[in-house]
Structure 1
Amino acid sequence: MEMQALEAARRWLAARGVRRVRDGWVSDERPDVLLTANQVAHSWAGDVFAEDLDAADRVRLAFGLLDLLDEYWVTCEIRFANGSADGPLPADALWDGYRQRLEADRDAEAVTYSLWVDWFEDHTTSATAFDEVLGNDVDRVVAERSEPLLRRARRVLECSGPVRWTVKEPAYRTVVRLPALHPSLFRGLRASFHDVYGDLEPAAALALLDRLELPANTRHRAELRHVLAAGHENHFSSPGAWDDAVRSCS
């Protein structure tokens, strides 16, 4: 499915006179000007949603552009289209696109960054987004333990800091049963404390932290335990708490 979307995106750009060359991209309008993938994304990605296509096919074409260009801006155009007067986008196509790329055995930085700063930091969308990419099928992730599902879970957990604690705690409590996900859950707990919009409940987070099987030399585990045991909810709402923990644990 991803390869089909990528090839469709390549053909779509070619029809607009945009093609890849050895060191970047060029357009027929200005063939002597070398473009970056980011420039291509900013110039053409938004046009996908003006195409005379089924709405789901537009979404799939946009994700194909993401695969082709690997640029965060493509995810911005997807988000803009979802919130536009013609939105929302078809949920199946939208979240299938995210899930597939979170499971893929290749870099997913643009996708995880999009989840983190666009979908998870916005509390009007974070619950739906988190449930779609992990919460709804976390039991299957733990039961099946396939590498694609584990890969998706790791990536989501590690950028889930801004998600409301009441939304993500059930998934956290489920994945704690699987040691393979403990390092990523630890990073999720740490981000829940450190992120500007991070959210956690100290006692519940501490109970989860104490169940994690982590290497003895895991950095910041002792400090995180210290601030949680003291009842701190967030680095930015408790200035100095982390520095106190560093001094106490050194």
Structure 2
Amino acid sequence: MFAEDMDAADQVRLAFGLLDLLDEYWVTCEIRFANEGADGPLPAAALWDGYRRRLEADRDAEAVTYSLWVDWFEDPATSATAFAEVLGDDIDQVAARTQSGLRRACRVLECSGPVNWTVKEPAYRAAVRLPALHPAVFRALLTSFHDLYGDLEPAAALTLLDRLTLPTGTRHLAELRHVLAAGHRNHHRSPGAWDEAIRSYDPVS
């Protein structure tokens, strides 16, 4: 998919330009395949700059966030590096700087469920300091519990959850607090815990 007369960094930029044009997840798959192929890895600066720019853009980013979630964050071999590059290394500067930075932080947090807890917890703690990110942190904790590969530490997650200021009636807030207080790490490891939490707050369901 890359033009052979370009250097590797320009090839990466061209690939992301194709993603902008087509807005299709398969383009991100081709980028990942090229990174893992015989001529890889791709230049890291160009690769992650491409992701960061599209996470900050005021346009739909579903292909990019889906790529992060299922390709980079679910893979233990790439998860820590990917999370650090798109948010973990600069969350303090990004979140406080501009609306585009907030947009990137929200998008990454909301798809970060599969990232190892020890990797993402510092970013979660930093995000809690900024009220504008509280809904995204809540979504991050919720998906960390529900995602098939989600990871969290219940006591630490509950501490973060209790620091969030969320709208009254936020859906699933009570249930999430219930399962975390009971020490459950993941919906799929404790398959009855969520249903029990629902019954606790809605006995007729």
Q: TM-score normalised to the size of structure 1?
A: 0.80
- TM-fit CA distance, 1:124: 0.4
8 Å contact from structure 1 (residues 154, 184) kept in 2:
yes
The superposition leaves residues 184-221 of structure 1 with CA deviations (integer Å, 9 ceiling, x where unpaired) of 11000000000000000000000000000000110000
- For residues 27-66 of structure 1, what are the structure 2 equivalents within 5 Å? 47-48=1-2, 51-66=4-19
Name the amino acid aligned to 2:20.
Answer: D
Cα distance between partner residues in 2 of 1:133 and 1:139: 12
- For residues 1-250 of structure 1, what are the structure 2 equivalents within 5 Å? 47-48=1-2, 51-144=4-97, 146-250=98-202
Cα distance between partner residues in 1 of 2:96 and 2:15: 32
Partner secondary structure for residue 89 of structure 2: helix
Distance 1:90-1:155 versus aligned 2 partners, 3 A rule: same
Aligned pair count reads: 202
- TM-fit CA distance, 1:52: 2.2
Name the amino acid aligned to 1:212.
Answer: L
Cα distance between partner residues in 1 of 2:145 and 2:137: 13
> Which runs of no fewer than 5 residues in structure 2 stay unpaired?
none
Partner secondary structure for residue 187 of structure 2: coil
Structure number with bigger Rg: 1
8 Å contact from structure 1 (residues 203, 231) kept in 2:
yes
8 Å contact from structure 1 (residues 142, 174) kept in 2:
no
- TM-fit CA distance, 1:178: 0.4
Q: TM-score normalised to the size of structure 2?
A: 0.97
Counterpart residue number, 1:8: none
- TM-fit CA distance, 1:141: 2.1
The superposition leaves residues 81-114 of structure 1 with CA deviations (integer Å, 9 ceiling, x where unpaired) of 0001110000000000000000000000000000
Name the amino acid aligned to 1:73.
Answer: W
Cα distance between partner residues in 1 of 2:158 and 2:95: 22
- TM-fit CA distance, 1:249: 1.4
Partner secondary structure for residue 81 of structure 1: helix
Percent identity between matched residues is 79
Cα distance between partner residues in 2 of 1:243 and 1:212: 24
Cα distance between partner residues in 2 of 1:171 and 1:55: 31
> Which runs of no fewer than 5 residues in structure 1 stay unpaired?
1-46
Cα distance between partner residues in 2 of 1:137 and 1:204: 22
- TM-fit CA distance, 1:139: 1.2
Q: Over the residues paired in the alignment, what is the CA RMSD in angstroms?
A: 0.7
Cα distance between partner residues in 2 of 1:142 and 1:69: 29
